[in-house]
Amino acid sequence: MLDPWGAYIEQLDIPPLASGPLDGLRFAAKDLFDVAGHPTRAGNPVFAERWGIPSRHAWAVEALLRAGARLVAKTHTHELAYGMTGINPHFGTPRNPRVPEGIPGGSSSGSAVAVAAGLVPLALGSDTGGSVRIPASFCGILGFRPTHGLIPLDGVVPLAPSFDTVGLLARDPELLDRAARVLLPPLNTPPLKGLLLVREGLEVSTPEAQQAVLDLLPFFERLGCRIEEVHLDLEAIREVQRILQGTQAWGIHEDWINRVHPPLGEDVAHLLKLAQALSSGEIGRAMIEALKLRKELQPPSTCIYLLPATPSSAPPLVRLRSSEEALAFRQQTLSLTCVASMGGLPAVAAPSLQEPPVGIQLVGPRGSDLSLLELVQRYMSHLQHS
């Protein structure tokens, strides 16, 4: 198959293991997911040697195959899934089908590009601090991060297990719902009735991203949702996320890096160095803060947070070559994605009417995954008729 967008690192043809709700569907999986007999590279040229050739599929890959789907490719990822741009100095950077000079976003870069370009209707990604939602926003598609802990991570390279989740990317909201039901345990679906507009989410964003969110309000009003403005200290949440995600990422990779000295992209090496230098005191305080945040961020059972998925549409690739700009980009973006990551909450990034694309983000209470996906179906049908 042609892949003019550079989404794939390896083409495959793994047939379904059974017949089910995904019969006839073709999907791709981020190269962070094990596929039996194929290397898991995690975006690094020597990682596969450390990891070994997997003898089993990742749990999520196996579940989709058992539901009738066919795996056609492994997709590029930001190195070690530790980055938001999707720029990969080792294997090349997938091209954003919607923004010629723009980054694809990451870390699930190839999965988002493959779906946005129409190569596959569905792709597996992973989301720790926004890795499904960010490329979905930049590529103008849907990205789903489930409630933390609901979908098994067996056979997925970890980044920071307190926040790691298996995510999905798709264009069609009905398909996204169908695939999510294959992966999720049975859940209640109480209707979502209240919308919490996060004021600080607008403040860190460009006018375009703000507009994407504001365009949505009439839709929610027509649904009978109560709309309320709320305040969240996104900078403080982001800082806790940064510290704990870094601590766990370094905890996972320290031995391997010190032993093998693998080639590492400048950005990833820099993040790991920062993580290595964290002191036990600041980590301790972040752990305590996270304990509080996990409680405080849980919205009331019928309410969802609304904020932009990213602070802007995809920035030009060249701009992020400067490490200062890259850091600013990282901080602003993490401010928007950290609410769901820190809260363990399910979230969907969905397209807006803005062009170039910038997504909106809906974040629900823990366990409200199916209600959220149902709401997204109604929103997307509204969008198509706008």
- Active-site positions? 30, 107, 131
Which string of x and - marks every residue 276-315 that binds its own copies (by CB under 8 A)?
Answer: xxxxxxxxxxxxx--x------------------------
- Closer by beta carbon to its own copies, 248 or else 335: 248
Instruction: Name the residue nearer to its own copies (CB basis): 74 or 148.
Output: 148
Helical ranges in 37-132 per DSSP H: 47-51, 59-66, 109-116
The residue among 155 and 311 lying less far from its own copies, judged by its C-beta, is: 155
Q: CB of 251: closest distance to its own copies in angstroms?
A: 2
Mark the segment that binds its own copies (CB under 8 A) among 34-42, 97-105, 226-234, 243-251: 243-251
Q: Which is nearer to its own copies, 75 or 248 (CB)?
A: 248
Q: Which stretch binds its own copies (CB under 8 A): 114-122, 227-235, 239-247, 344-352?
A: 239-247
Helices (H), the chain: 47-51, 59-66, 109-116, 133-139, 173-183, 199-203, 207-214, 217-222, 234-260, 266-276, 280-296, 323-343, 369-384
Q: Which of 341, 145, 137 is nearest to 237 (CA)?
A: 341
246 binds its own copies (CB under 8 A): yes
- 298: part of which helix (H) or strand (E)? none
Nearest distance from C-beta of residue 80 to its own copies, angstroms: 14
Classify 143 as helix, strand or coil.
Answer: strand
Least distance (Å) from its own copies to the CB of residue 164? 10
**151-190 residues near its own copies, rule: CB under 8 A:** 158, 161-162
Q: Is residue 180 within 8 Å of 365, Cβ to Cβ?
A: no
Instruction: Give the C-alpha separation, 202 to 211, whole Å.
Output: 9
- For residues 97 and 365, which CB has a smaller minimum distance to its own copies in the complex? 365
Count residues contacting its own copies (CB under 8 A)?
27
What is the bridge-based pairing of β-strands 122-126 and 26-30?
parallel
DSSP string, 164-224: --EEEEES-HHHHHHHHHHHSPP---PPP-EEEEEHHHHHTS-HHHHHHHHTTHHHHHHTT
Compute the least distance from the CB of residue 277 to its own copies, in Å.
7
Binding site for its own copies (CB under 8 A): 158, 161-162, 244, 246-252, 254, 275-288, 291
